Amino acid sequence: MRLLFFAWLREKAGQDREDIVLPPDVTDVQGLIDWLRGRSDGYAKALGDPSQLRVAVNQETVALDHPVGPDDEVAFFPPVTGG
Amino acid sequence: MIRVQREPFDSGAEIARLGAGNPAVGGICAFVGKVRDLSGGQAVSAMTLEHYPGMTEKELARIETEARNRWPLQDTLILHRHGRLEPGDDIVLVAVASAHRRAAFEACEFLIDWLKTKAPFWKREEGPGGARWVEARTEDDEAAARWNAAASQEQE
């Protein structure tokens, strides 16, 4: 699975991407967030505030109960501010 | 058409190309978003726009398709820049060509409202106090949500 981080989440995470092997018991976005927060302080900070967290799976914005699989691209970012 | 680019654009030339040669076009409505020198009461000397290459284009295409499903449009253009910009620079151009003005006005407003709340761009402003990430505004969410209500009314 490829993880991507954007804007200030990227700065808190300390990297813009990481390729990981998804544990078999992680099956949805919320499970992935919970697992990542336990992996490093950076991820705990980047993913710590649900109100400021948006998630895209395979480049489409999804809800926290969306399923994830080992070949997915999962992106984490704050609410968007373009335009 | 969707374009995401670092380079500046000529909004006049882009608008002139929209629907050119199509005699069914009766009007064009365009919005150009620019970098202001003031944001949240603080001076802005420059801005950097980050985006999510790949998803950005897909999301803009989804928004464009939604507009074309809602209004009878002859042509559409969403052009958004990324990278470092300075006050006075153009950020985004949304332009819509239609047979009649109401569809053009409404679709143009819809496109920029949805773009601002759905397309994966993030602004980082620089000023005398350093750099800061721009926070999303409730007003923008409300502006985008109006179109959800409008859609459900049309279905009733």
Contact B135 A79 (CB under 8 A): yes
- Asked if residue B89 lies in contact with residue B57, where contact means CB atoms within 8 angstroms, the answer is no
The domain locations on chain B are 2-144
pLDDT at B155 over 60: no
The whole-chain average pLDDT of chain B stands at 95
> Pseudo-torsion of CA B144, B145, B146, B151, nearest 10°?
110
Contacts of A74 in chain B (CB under 8 A): none
Nearest CB to B122 within list A59, A60, A80: A80
**DSSP code for B89:** -
Q: For residue B156, name the pLDDT band (cuts at 50, 70, 90).
A: very low
Query: How many Å lie between the alpha carbon of A53 and the closest alpha carbon of chain B?
Result: 12
Nearest CA in chain B to A59: B55
**Each residue's pLDDT tens digit, B110-136:** 999 999 999 999 999 999 989 999 999
Please say whether the dihedral angle defined by the alpha carbons of residues B107, B108, B113 and B117, taken in this order, is positive or negative: positive
Read out DSSP for chain A? Answer: -EEEE-HHHHHHHTSSEEE-PPPTT--BHHHHHHHHHTT-HHHHHHTS-GGG-EEEETTEEE-TT-B--TT-EEEEEPSP---
One-letter amino acid at A43 equals: Y
Q: In CATH, which of 3.30.70.20, 3.40.50.150, 3.90.550.10, 3.90.1170.40 is domain B2-144?
A: 3.90.1170.40
The domain locations on chain A are 2-77
The interface pTM score, or ipTM, of the predicted complex is: 0.96
CA distance B84 to B153: 41
Q: What is the pLDDT of residue B149?
A: 74
Q: What average pLDDT does the segment A36-65 reach?
A: 97
**Each residue's pLDDT tens digit, B44-99:** 999 999 999 999 999 999 999 999 999 999 999 999 999 999 999 999 999 999 99
The whole-chain average pLDDT of chain A stands at 97
The count of CB pairs under 8 A between chains A and B is 73
Q: What average pLDDT does the segment B18-25 reach?
A: 96
Contacts of A12 in chain B (CB under 8 A): none
Q: Which CATH class is domain A2-77?
A: alpha beta
